[in-house]
Amino acid sequence: MRIAVTGQSGQVVLSMLERAPEGVSVIALGRPQLDLERLETIAPAVATSRPDVIVNAAAFTAVDLAESQQEAAQLANGTAAGEVAKAAATLGIPVIQISTDYVFNGSLGRPYREDDPVAPISAYGRSKLDGERAVAAATPDHAILRTAWIYSPFGKNFVRTMLRLAESRDEIGVVADQAGCPTNALDIADAIFAVARNLAERPDDAALRGVFHMGAQGQAVWADVAEAIFAERQALGGTPVVVKRIATSDYPTPARRPANSRLDSSRLAEIHGVELPEWQGALAACVRRLLTSEQTG
């Protein structure tokens, strides 16, 4: 199976390249051959890669910057997503769209299900919701996978930021009133491969299409995640770091974050047979990998 994935340096793309199962080829499509800011490049790049499935993982992911660059976010996350889906439709193949918890406003008192009302509170969230709608309008042969709180051994993310700050601080303030499902991009990659195979092998199964939530099992607030990172670091010989639990209002950002980013992923397990691991073990493995590679690198 050949899977084309948009982007070259994102956490999901790099995780897919690393975790590709035997018999699966991953073709990463990025600049200059595929540029989300140049819509005319999308269809030719997808067609040239001759994929069986296309995954749209490229996006404008700078949440705060999107507030001041709304047109750029809308182009990459909304309009371009639709063009990727149109290219898939032209080739007669399924498209997997990676989306986000930011399509919700975060006010619900339980984990979000796929049929809960969407109401984004940031420019980034609005652009990603527009992308979902553009994909759905372009082709019925789609799976939209909403995930949240992504981290990995690659790129910029919360885990790597905490480990960097721990090198020079013994106390770090971390938000404790936002809840979510910390999700390792390597586990996301494994899930994408399973969903892609289902879509490719069962082209007439409408139940496999639509919107699915894809988060790690369990839930946490950011301060919990930080404490788990520092505990693993200390177990490997690092100095102790104290987490000071703070409120969102103590750490203002240009973009509002949902207070509740918890996703109910039971539908993905029921229909696709895909269930991500618990967040604690996946996080500990990521921290160990990062710290071990630093020591050996």
Q: Within 13 A of 170's CA, how many CA atoms are on the CB side?
A: 2
Is 124 a residue of the active site?
Answer: yes
Residue in 112, 124, 151, 251 annotated catalytic:
124
Query: Which amino acid, residue 25?
Result: S
Q: How far apart are CA 13 and CA 9, in angstroms?
A: 6
249-265 residues labelled b (16+ CB within 10 A) or e (exposed): eeeeeebbbbbbbbbeb
CB 216 within 8 A of CB 279: yes
Q: Which two tokens stand for residue 230?
A: 């520092």
Query: Which amino acid, residue 282?
Result: A
First to last CA, the chain: 34
Report, as residue numbers or ranges, the catalytic residues. 124
